[in-house]
Structure 1
Amino acid sequence: MQMAMIILHKKMETTISWRCVAEQLLDELQARYQSDGMIADEIMLAMSAVFDSRTVLESFNLVDRNSICRLLSSSGKILFQVVDQDDTAWLVLPKINYCKCEFFANEVVHGHFQICKHVLAVWLASAVGRLHYRSIDDKTMTAILNSIY
């Protein structure tokens, strides 16, 4: 039991540390983007050191393609939708680092990667103000949320 607690504690420390670094990088990205309208190469490199470089590149590509939509229900629930290169729409809950994509289910859940490109794309698009916004009714939001589970 004690060993399980130690392993869980170490896993939580790792999760907290990469999340803290990611938040700092996103804050820096947002500040630099607001000041000069560019995404600095050193921030991309730093993100590639925290996350898989392919994930970072694919996330930036999704942002460049304007593929991220913030869905807001009439009662204030928020969900994000990311449309992939093959026009597949993925549901994302970025605050809890969740995506419905296969990569998330096969790699992130099992601890091989911290994040998928869709969640990172939502974080990046939010930081640089590249989100589309769509209002939906509560019934539609409920149906979407039910499809996640």
Structure 2
Amino acid sequence: MPSFLPTVAKQLFKDIQKTYQEKTKIPDDLLIALRFVFGSCALQALDLVDQRSVTCVSSPSGRRAYQVIGGSGLLYTCYTSCHYCSCPAFAYTVLRRNESLLCKHILAAYLSQAMGLSQQEALSDQQMSSILSGRAARTDT
């Protein structure tokens, strides 16, 4: 887990991971904590995870990113390694207004990672370079 997230958020993801592995569900107390730490985007992120909208794309060179199909059907690229999402909400709410730690897409990436529910897709280094540069998205969406 990246070190720029507050300790409470990192611990929350660890608790979710452990509990989900044991019980295949997130108990109410952790759902309440998730809502407390991340606000209204917590439920939206869980919905994206439930819909299997999160794909972890990786390349032979070891690069990794998450692509999340948002509620509008648009595909957003998220980088958990540097805490960034290409969506307008991230630019406005997180970067410009500093009102939230992250957007629902990045939160969905973290949650799907913790719960082991992200789709996996292997890409060539060339395909990954295109995604990382913002020139292309996956072709299967």
Fold conserved between structures, TM > 0.5: yes
Post-superposition Cα deviations, 1:6-40, rounded to whole Å, max 9, x if no partner, equal: xxxxxxxxx95x62111100111111111111111
Partner deviation per Cα, 1:31-90 (whole Å, 9 max, x = no partner): 1111111111111111111111x2000000000000100101121110110011221110
TM-score if structure 2 supplies the norm length? Answer: 0.88
**Residue correspondence of structure 1 range 119-138 to structure 2 within 5 A:** 119-138=106-125
The alpha-carbon deviation at position 95 of structure 1 amounts to 2.3
**Equivalent residue in structure 2 for 1:105, among 82, 91, 113:** 91
In the other structure, the counterpart of 1:55 is: 41
Aligned residue among 35, 54, 74 for 1:68:
54
**Superposition map of 1:1-149 within 5 A:** 19-52=6-39, 54-110=40-96, 111-147=98-134
Amino acid at match of 1:84: G
Q: Which runs of 5 or more structure 2 residues have no equivalent in the other structure?
A: 136-141
What is the distance in 1 between the residues matched to 2:113 and 2:83? 14
Count of equivalent residues: 132
SS, match of residue 74 in structure 1: coil
Matched residue type, 1:98: Y
Write 1 or 2 for the structure with the bigger share of helix: 1
Letter in 1 for 2:22: S
- Quick one: percent identity of the two aligned structures? 30
Kindly provide the CA deviation profile for residues 111-144 of structure 1, in whole angstroms up to 9, marking residues without a partner as x.
Answer: 1211100000000001111010101111111111
User: 1:45 is matched by which residue type in structure 2?
Assistant: I
Q: Give structure 1 stretches of 5+ with no counterpart.
A: 1-14
2:139 — aligned with what?
none
Greater C-alpha Rg: 1
